[in-house]
Amino acid sequence: MWPAIWIAWTAAFAVAEGIALANKRDNDTLSENVRRLFRTRTSKAGRAIFAVGWFGFSAWFAIHILTETM
């Protein structure tokens, strides 16, 4: 059951992101919304918070997948 849910979620995201990329409107892709949320274009603090969060999550996820812990 869970693999089907993850596949459906991934497919729904891919469709939504594909539509957002195709229509060329501002502020509708995931990247644009993340930039706006963290104010990466105007705030050094926002850039730093995003970077720490991204690298922290990436490190945790790599360890989680490779060692099957946490």
Q: What is the pLDDT of residue 30?
A: 96
For the stretch 35-63, pLDDT in tens is: 999 999 999 999 999 999 999 999 999 99
Q: What is the pLDDT of residue 27?
A: 93
Q: What is the pLDDT of residue 18?
A: 97
- Helix ranges (H only) for 1-70 are 2-23, 30-38, 44-67
What is the phi-psi region of residue 24: left when phi exceeds 0, alpha when psi lies from -120 to 50, beta otherwise? Answer: left
| Amino acid, res. 49 | I
Q: Are 37 and 31 in contact (CB under 8 A)?
A: no
Residue 70: band (very low, low, confident or very high) from pLDDT cuts 50, 70, 90 = confident
Global pTM reads 0.81
